[in-house]
Amino acid sequence: MSRTAFVYQIHYDEASRRRVEPEFIPLDNTASERPDWLEFWPILKFLQSNTLQEGAWYGFLSPRFAEKTGVNGQQVIELLDMVGDAEDVMLLSPFWDHGAFFLNAFEQGEATCAGLLDASQRFVDGIGLAIDLRTWVVTSRNTVFSNYFIAKPVFWRRWLELAQQLWTCCEDDSHPLAVDLNAATTYPARGGRPVALKIFLQERLVCLLLDRPEFRVGSIDLSEGHRVDGMFHADESKRADLHRCDSLKAQYLETQDETVLESYWALRRTIPTIVPVPGRRRVEQRRRGVQFPAFGAGFHPTDWSNWSPGADQPRTAIILRA
């Protein structure tokens, strides 16, 4: 009988090689020709070089998958066996609360990576996708971070099209987006190399496909047993409000009732975060030149719930536009 799940775990040194779970297939990235692309490079290279088995599951997970999700390799394989042919893609995303709180993954990225939203919108416009990322409402069930999704070839082929378009934008020095996408961010460097803006866009390519009607998308709820993230001061008293934000977004998508969306914005404003986040649907962000900490790397003591435009904030000023 042919194998039905090919879940790879990327490793880039001996320590990460030892962390590959026995149910996963090691994917060697120790001699990466393009370390600036991080895990995107081995995924892209694999998909360009291999013919995928129709109907089988494929995934490409980082060494920290179990640490971030609390899900092990055996559980992943059991899940895929259970789902079978019912779905085209399964999401195993960490940071459920980020997916619930923020309007979408691109707005979430902008909160800690200034310039991502604008660059992503220009990319989306350039490839002809009719999505306004500043007003796009997405629930946590259609959000995934860290490329933690497993999919059938029918989905990976469409993802690869987007990935190759992004590659062209970044590798062609004459492309209008090349400079911005290849620019270093303030995100903590990995291996001594600053992380480029393109990395945060490539991790969100999958999100551009998840609401398409031709794909059947499943996800598992990882909120239970996972603490509320440091982005929200690890405040467990806000768990119910975060779930409510997600429910309001889902209700809005079903009804298109603007009063429901206003209720989401009103509730969201009551949830303190360690970085200032927008309270309306269109934002413009300018840098103050101070680095953000990585999530979980310590909390900023300021309560941003009462932040307003024009305030002299120590990290990032977000200018709201009507």
Sign of torsion over alpha carbons 207, 212, 215, 219 = positive
26 pairs with which residues across the strands?
A: 9
Kindly report, residue by residue over 120-153, the tens digit of the pLDDT: 999 999 999 999 999 999 999 999 999 999 999 9
All residues at 6 or more sequence positions from 174 whose CB lies less than 8 Å from its CB, including other chains: none
Which of these, 264, 253, 114, 139, lies nearest to 207 by C-alpha position? Answer: 139
Kindly report, residue by residue over 4-48, the tens digit of the pLDDT: 999 999 999 999 999 999 999 999 999 989 999 999 999 999 999
- Of all residues in the chain, the percent with pLDDT exceeding 70 is 84
**Straight-line distance from the first to the last Cα atom of the chain, in angstroms, rounded to the nearest whole number:** 59
Q: Nearest 5°: phi and psi at 118?
A: -65, -45
pLDDT at 322 over 90: no
